[in-house]
């Protein structure tokens, strides 16, 4: 059997005449999607990179700040031998001249699944063994909640995934799920590390069938599966914390808050209560106040509070709500609202941090699946991942992060493998300028995407389809053997081959490979997994049997009682949470002690820099939602058939309310220009009453296609929302990304719009 795994599904590969011709979703995938369509075509398409490439100016003049040349000059094809020599020499030079800290290997991104051929693990192992590097910490996914939640409920940064309410208990005991940010079906397509079968829709519909009621709070009606028959509340984007405060105030006003739980199992209720009642600032966070901030009817707040108080309720807060300025507050306040509601620590209710995403909502796997050891990086501290442009632009500048004061390192060499900063970062023109600063940018890429184009040395990399591996997705219980379905095109190597060759040139080849081929490593990781699971009493077949079987299922782990809210409710003295107080920190003395003006000791409404109720809306009256794309994984496969079939007028579709479109003379299918003071992009108009008026939705992932890269305000021809988003840390606490805090204006595009150029390969000069 030939099976492969992507982050968005598992496929049996149909082979005809010795060639792979189709990827068929595995038969038991309950909800397959089209995201893989075209994967085979692009594998050998015109955008595939099949030779190492060096930017001409870098080749001629050597390393140094690029002053606009990076991203605009042609490339020169060179031999592998030459490319590896250039990379090894440059790495050694930078380490020698500027120290190991000058090498940035934060290299954020999803890459592709596979426990061994996992680009992040590969690059981190390579750079660690070479002497160390500046790494990154936290994610673009959950940057703010990862930092604040450990202060509030304790545990490591991702323990919320395991400790939130799960679908099976909602089915059994739940009555109401209030989802801030919805539970968009498309967001369950993808799961880090792979997904054996899609089950999220079945869980959600199962809950509905069991009588559970749903409320979706989102500017976009489509964020809930229609089968859930959810009530739709559409506040202004970025105002959910105000809504939660209004609900909390209403619970307090009507004396339906769970005083017993708040007293026994939480700390810091009193200062928060004073804030709710407006004792110090004179502003009661009442239903009427919340309604005016959110732009909804006061009765909506009152009625929702009543339903929350009267039902076993899950307060579900999705991750987009913290990808915003002050993003910490939404999840902190979600926990507090759940604590007040009477449902936290009772079966089928409480707080959930992102039910609906990926496989969120079942007890995650705790089986210890082996991965490539990365060693201990001697260089620190790591850079908060979304502060990359700040670091490149301001070496030596101080910044705050979670109670510590640090300075940005002087980064001279950027090494990227398995992510796309020209997809994920905000304010891309600013990133382009920052990106000119280092001496050298090296990337491993399979395709001529924006990252490859903005690099000095591009090493052409094999894709998932060209490697044997094993996959075990986050929270998934299946371990799958991934099969190479085709040889890499001539001139293409795997990340592992490249790092092995570089390590050998740099004198640590044997340490890096431990004498193993890639296939031997895959077998080794499987055998280590067998040993780990044997300790837990879970038998697994031999490696050869595993490969013949294609997949093995592991049993569901027993519920983890550690740090459980149910136990906390039962007996807080015997089952303390891993917080300083052992209880839920409605007020955190630790965070308060940092003295941050943008993140105080308890949850609060902070007015964002850009929102529909603020003064910036006079110039840019529309709120931009840049959510996850339904036809891609981020920027991956934007050049493949399925994503391209979703374009409108050749551009990324933008959803507009018909009233907003009419006011601007925009018709369905028109090319429009979306702009603000940071940038502008073109997009294809789609009109729908399923968005709140005043909101436009442009999904992420259209390949960046700038007319003039690096020039503020210059046009992206294709529709990448990150030319518009702001590059501000969520707050001094987390420094997380904040694309959700962005205002824009949309106008019809007059004249003939420029053609999209990002799907044409770049100019290649002769050596
Ligand atoms: N405006 C806005 N921006 C956002 C978000 C948002 O909501 N709004 N969301 C953010 C979030 S949550 C995330 S997670 C990020 C995602 O950002 P990324 O994870 O950086 O995006 P991807 O497009 O998945 O980038 C993966 C890259 O790895 C490459 N790749 C795939 N397989 C391999 C491999 O085996 N080896 C190597 N070397 N490369 C490989 C692909 O070609 C691709 O370029 O975006 C963030 N950006
Ligand atoms: N198909 C597909 N699925 C994916 C991904 C992908 O690229 N493609 N990426 C994966 C990754 S890396 C991650 S981190 C997760 C992210 O999961 P999420 O962060 O949940 O995903 P988003 O689509 O960014 O946001 C969900 C919804 O929140 C709503 N929203 C935006 N702003 C606001 C607001 O101010 N208030 C309220 N109430 N709602 C708001 C938007 O309408 C949006 O559709 O998704 C994963 N799933
Ligand atoms: Mo993410």
CATH number of domain containing 348: 3.40.228.10
Q: Is 182 in the pocket of ligand 2 (CB under 6 A)?
A: yes
Q: Same domain, yes or no, for 625 and 731?
A: yes
DSSP 3-state of 491: coil
* Alpha carbon distance 438, 224 (integer Å): 44
User: Which atom of ligand 2 is least distant from the CA of 33?
Assistant: 1
Ligand 2: which residue has its CA nearest to atom 43? 627
Q: pLDDT value at position 488?
A: 97
Dihedral-angle region of residue 475 (phi above 0 means left; psi in -120 to 50 means alpha; beta otherwise): left
Domain that holds residue 628: 615-748
Dihedral-angle region of residue 182 (phi above 0 means left; psi in -120 to 50 means alpha; beta otherwise): left
* Alpha carbon distance 312, 176 (integer Å): 6
Residue 525's φ and ψ, nearest 5 degrees, are -65, -35
Q: Is 494 in the pocket of ligand 1 (CB under 6 A)?
A: no
Ligand 1: which residue has its CA nearest to atom 4? 424
Q: Same domain, yes or no, for 397 and 345?
A: no
Among 11, 104, 110, 269, the active-site one is 110
Domain presence at residue 326: yes
Q: Same domain, yes or no, for 447 and 537?
A: yes
Q: Same domain, yes or no, for 393 and 314?
A: no
In contact, 70 and 55? CB cutoff 8 Å: yes
Give the CA radius of gyration of the chain: 26
Q: Is 185 in the pocket of ligand 2 (CB under 6 A)?
A: no
Domain presence at residue 82: yes
Handedness of CA 394, 398, 403, 409 (dihedral sign): positive
Q: Same domain, yes or no, for 397 and 344?
A: no
Series of mean pLDDT values for 10-residue runs along the chain (767 residues): 93 93 94 96 97 98 96 96 98 98 97 97 98 98 98 94 93 98 96 93 96 98 96 98 99 98 98 98 98 98 98 98 98 98 98 95 82 96 98 98 98 98 97 97 98 98 97 93 96 98 98 98 98 94 96 86 93 97 98 98 98 98 98 98 98 98 98 97 98 98 91 89 98 98 97 96 87
Q: Same domain, yes or no, for 584 and 489?
A: no
- The total domain count for the chain is 3
Domain presence at residue 560: no
Q: pLDDT value at position 365?
A: 67
Q: What kind and span of H or E run contains 151?
A: helix 143-152
Q: Is 186 in the pocket of ligand 2 (CB under 6 A)?
A: yes
Q: Same domain, yes or no, for 305 and 188?
A: yes
Q: Is 190 in the pocket of ligand 2 (CB under 6 A)?
A: yes
Ligand 1: which residue has its CA nearest to atom 16? 424
Long-range CB contact pairs, 465-469, < 8 A, 24+: 465/4, 465/13, 465/20, 465/39, 465/40, 465/43, 466/43, 466/492, 466/494, 467/114, 467/117, 467/494, 467/518, 468/518, 468/519, 468/522, 469/113, 469/114, 469/115, 469/116, 469/117, 469/522
Q: pLDDT value at position 81?
A: 98
CATH of the domain at 73: 3.40.50.740
* Ligand 1 geometric centre to CA of 129 (Å): 25
pTM for this prediction: 0.98
Domain presence at residue 94: yes
Question: In sequence order, what are the beta bridge partners of 599?
Answer: 596
Ligand 1: which residue has its CA nearest to atom 45? 424
Residue 677's φ and ψ, nearest 5 degrees, are -75, -10
Q: Same domain, yes or no, for 384 and 346?
A: no
Domain presence at residue 392: yes
CATH of the domain at 723: 2.40.40.20
* Ligand 2 geometric centre to CA of 554 (Å): 29
Residue 539's φ and ψ, nearest 5 degrees, are -80, 145
Q: Same domain, yes or no, for 317 and 341?
A: yes
Q: Same domain, yes or no, for 69 and 179?
A: no
Ligand 2: which residue has its CA nearest to atom 40? 181
* Ligand 3 geometric centre to CA of 448 (Å): 22
Q: Is 237 in the pocket of ligand 2 (CB under 6 A)?
A: yes
Among 11, 108, 408, 563, the active-site one is 108
Domain presence at residue 150: no
Q: Is 605 a catalytic residue?
A: no
663 Cβ contact list (under 8 Å, min separation 6): none
Q: Is 108 a catalytic residue?
A: yes
Q: Same domain, yes or no, for 107 and 197?
A: no
In contact, 610 and 426? CB cutoff 8 Å: no
Domain presence at residue 387: yes
Domain presence at residue 433: yes
Q: Which residue has the tokens 């110039």?
A: 619
Q: Is 746 in the pocket of ligand 2 (CB under 6 A)?
A: no
Question: In sequence order, what are the beta bridge partners of 11?
Answer: 4, 25
Q: Same domain, yes or no, for 346 and 418?
A: no
User: Which atom of ligand 2 is least distant from the CA of 35?
Assistant: 1
């Amino acid at each position: 059997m030939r099976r492969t795994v992507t982050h968005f599904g598992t496929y049996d590969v149909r082979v005809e005449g010795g060639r792979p011709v189709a990827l068929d979703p595995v038969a038991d995938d309950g909800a397959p999607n089209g995201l893989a369509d075209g994967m085979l075509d692009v594998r050998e398409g015109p955008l595939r990179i099949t030779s190492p490439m060096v930017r001409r100016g870098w080749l001629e003049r050597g390393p140094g700040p690029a002053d606009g040349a990076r991203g605009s000059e042609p490339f020169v094809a060179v031999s592998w031998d030459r490319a590896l020599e250039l990379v090894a020499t440059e790495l050694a030079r930078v380490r020698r001249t500027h120290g190991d800290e000058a090498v940035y290997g934060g290299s954020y991104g999803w890459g592709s699944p596979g426990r061994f051929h996992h680009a992040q693990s590969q690059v981190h192992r390579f750079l660690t063994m070479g002497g160390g590097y500046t790494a990154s910490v936290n994610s673009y996914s959950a940057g703010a909640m990862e930092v604040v939640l450990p202060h509030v409920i304790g545990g490591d940064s991702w323990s919320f995934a395991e400790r939130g309410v799960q679908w099976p208990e909602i089915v059994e005991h739940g009555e109401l799920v209030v989802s801030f940010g919805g539970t968009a079906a498309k967001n369950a397509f993808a799961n880090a590390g792979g997904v054996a079968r899609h089950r999220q829709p079945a869980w959600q519909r199962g809950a509905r069938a069991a009588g559970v009621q749903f409320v979706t709070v989102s500017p976009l009606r489509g964020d809930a599966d229609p089968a859930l028959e959810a009530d739709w509340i559409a506040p202004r984007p970025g105002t959910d914390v105000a809504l939660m405060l209004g609900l909390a105030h209403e619970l307090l006003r009507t004396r339906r808050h769970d005083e017993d739980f708040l007293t026994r199992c939480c700390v810091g209720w009193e200062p928060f209560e004073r804030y709710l009642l407006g004792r110090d600032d004179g502003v009661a966070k009442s239903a009427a106040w919340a309604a005016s901030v959110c732009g909804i009817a006061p009765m909506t707040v009152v009625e929702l509070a009543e339903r929350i108080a009267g039902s076993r309720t899950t307060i579900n807060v999705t991750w987009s709500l913290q990808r915003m300025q002050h993003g910490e507050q939404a999840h902190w306040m979600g926990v507090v609202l759940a604590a007040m509601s009477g449902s936290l620590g009772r079966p089928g209710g409480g707080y959930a941090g992102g039910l609906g995403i990926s496989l969120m909502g079942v007890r995650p796997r705790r089986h210890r699946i082996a991965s490539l050891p990365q060693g201990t990086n001697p260089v620190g501290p790591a850079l908060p991942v979304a502060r990359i442009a700040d670091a490149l632009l301001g070496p030596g500048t101080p910044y705050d992060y979670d109670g510590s004061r640090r300075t940005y390192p002087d980064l001279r060499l950027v090494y990227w493998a398995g992510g796309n900063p020209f997809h994920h970062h905000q304010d891309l023109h600013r990133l382009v300028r920052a990106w000119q600063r280092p001496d050298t940018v090296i990337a491993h890429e399979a395709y001529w995407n924006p990252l490859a184009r903005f690099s000095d040395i591009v090493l052409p990399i094999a894709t998932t389809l060209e490697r044997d591996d094993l996959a075990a997705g986050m929270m998934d219980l299946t371990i799958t053997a991934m099969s190479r379905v085709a040889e890499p095109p001539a001139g293409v190597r795997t990340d592992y081959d490249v790092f092995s060759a570089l390590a050998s040139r740099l004198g640590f080849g044997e340490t890096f490979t431990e004498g193993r081929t890639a296939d031997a490593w895959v077998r080794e990781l499987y055998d280590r997994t067998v040993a780990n699971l044997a300790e837990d009493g879970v038998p697994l077949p031999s490696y050869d049997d595993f490969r013949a079987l294609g997949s093995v299922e592991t049993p569901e782990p027993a519920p983890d009682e550690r740090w459980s809210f149910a136990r906390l409710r039962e007996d807080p003295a015997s089952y303390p949470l891993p917080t300083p107080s052992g209880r839920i920190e409605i007020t955190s003395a630790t965070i308060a002690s940092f003295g941050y003006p943008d993140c105080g000791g308890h949850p609060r409404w902070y007015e964002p820099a850009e929102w529909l109720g603020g003064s910036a809306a006079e110039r840019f009256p529309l709120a931009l939602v840049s959510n996850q794309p339904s036809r891609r994984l981020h920027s991956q496969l934007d050049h493949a058939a399925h994503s391209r079939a979703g374009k409108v007028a050749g551009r990324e579709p933008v959803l507009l309310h018909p009233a907003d479109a009419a006011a601007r003379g925009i018709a369905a299918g028109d090319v429009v220009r979306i702009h603000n003071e940071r940038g502008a992009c073109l997009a294809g108009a789609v009109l729908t009453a399923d968005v709140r008026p005043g909101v436009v939705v442009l999904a992420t992932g259209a390949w960046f296609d700038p007319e003039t890269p690096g020039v503020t305000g210059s046009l992206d021809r294709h529709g990448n929302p990150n030319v518009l988003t702001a590059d501000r840390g969520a707050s001094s606490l987390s420094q997380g990304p904040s694309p959700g805090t962005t205002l824009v204006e949309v106008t019809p595009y007059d004249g003939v719009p420029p053609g999209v150029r990002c799907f044409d390969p770049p100019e290649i000069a002769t050596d």
